[in-house]
A and B are shown apart, each in its own frame.
Chain A
Amino acid sequence: MFVMIVSVLLPRFALATALGDRGELLQTPCALAPEPGGVQKVGEVSPAAEALGLHPGLRLGESLARCPELTLVPPDPAGVADRWERLLVRLESIGAAVEPERPGLVCFEARGLLRLHGGIDGVLAAARRALRAPARFGVAPSRFAAVAAATRARSRRPEIVSGSGRAVARAYLASLPVSLLRARAALAELPDALERLGVRTLGELAGLPSAVLADRFGSLGLLAHELACGGDSPLHPRPPGEFLRESLDLPEAGSGVQLERGLGLLIDRLLARRERRGRTIRAVVISAVLVEQGGTWREQVVFREALSDPVRMRLALTPRLALMPAPADALRLAVERFGPLASDQRGLLEAPAEERAGRLREAIRQARVVAGPDAALRVLTVDPDSRFPERRAVLTPFEG
């Protein structure tokens, strides 16, 4: 079957996003600092740092030994996720069914878009216009070959591998270095081992018997061999998503109890959003902007079962706040995936209290239809012991 995969690469995406308006730092040796509490390895590095022998995944101590003047940039995972989501939505707006590999690298199948945009050049031009960001494009018959092509492309000149089939992809990859395998997260450690064994190009790797690689590296070796031979798994495009998020600025740099109350407020507001349309929530992302320009923090939470009960959501989400490395200036809660509609089936014997609560919910719903979302509010105690009265309580949507 004819396959044409387009790979879009935005080099140093996470680093550039974390730098924000301090882009001039890219001209100096700088690298993304390790995530707080994570493995002490640097993230993406600037070209100047790369010239000094640094690469993503290098241990922090070794990085500083190689480059004492290295500037460490606090990571901004929430900012990266936001900006990446915006770019993916822009790509989807041209009809591309995208499969994001990691922030800064995404693939899509171009076959269905060729007629729509007038050939592969038209598809690439449309993608470039939609992205409105400097990107490199690679086109090849397999996903891995397309990613390899994107790394060799220039910002204005895409790398297009003509033809289809494994043989074409294998021939294209033959002269390329095995270090390209690092593009696949599972194979990040393999290129060093292969180079130590004298295997420097993907062509040499493809020429080895697969049984030998399986003996030495197990399933990872077989995967690397398959990729070098021009094969790869088919694309699994992500389902089109909806973006539903609530955020809360914390002027007093909240932590502890204040953060918990803020989170409760965000849960209430998220559940009160009309766009939810009665659906349960399967997964959410909590993120925070940390104080003193300490970057951002982001945590994905998948619930054990899809739910729309604020009490259970609080129970599941509150312990995650303890993982936050510093007090926060702003707290955000976004829906990542919805679940099925919340069940509305009535019990055989309805308790009077539940009946009253049901009537109350219905009354609130009707009041909101008439007077807007502010029709029913409740007082939420945020910081009851504050010495400043205006910090003690806020108004939040009433959830029956």
Chain B
Amino acid sequence: MSGPRRLGVPRRVAVEPDAAGRPLEVDGRTVDSVRESWLIEDRWWTERPLRRRYWEIVTTCGRNEIVFVDLFSQRWWRQR
């Protein structure tokens, strides 16, 4: 084993947000409701700070997903 392997690493996901940044579609599936949303900021004292807006959503087909947007790169990620 070359090194410890992290679990729960975020994976890229295609999200269609509205003007306020709220996800409307995740991987082509329409979002039915947003259960929760929260902001996390960390490592602000380093050169690589982290700022993420998390969304826990339920799609119309019944999937429960957690996605977040990296507020620096504006890219969307899925996390379990």
Contact = CB atoms under 8 A, between A and B. Distances in A.
Interface of A: 248-249, 252-253, 265, 269, 272, 373-374, 377, 379-380, 382, 387-397
B42 interface: yes
9 contacts: A248-B4, A253-B46, A377-B5, A391-B6, A393-B6, A394-B6, A394-B7, A395-B5, A395-B6
B43 A252 contact: yes
A58 B2 CA distance: 44
B80 A394 contact: no
A397 B2 CA distance: 11
A205 B10 CA distance: 72
Q: Which 5 A-B pairs have the closest CB atoms?
A: A394-B4, A389-B8, A395-B5, A393-B7, A390-B8
Given A387-B42, A390-B7, A397 B1 contact: yes
Interface string B49-74: 01000000000000000000000000
B9 interface: yes
A365 to B, nearest CB: 15
B9 A390 contact: yes
B49 to A, nearest CB: 12
Contacts, number: 47
Contacts of B40: 387-388
A393 B5 CA distance: 9
A397 B3 CA distance: 10
B43 A395 contact: no
A290 to B, nearest CB: 15
B33 interface: no
A395 B7 contact: yes
A396 to B, nearest CB: 6
A253 B79 CA distance: 23
A395 B4 contact: yes
Nearest to A389: B8
A390 B52 CA distance: 13
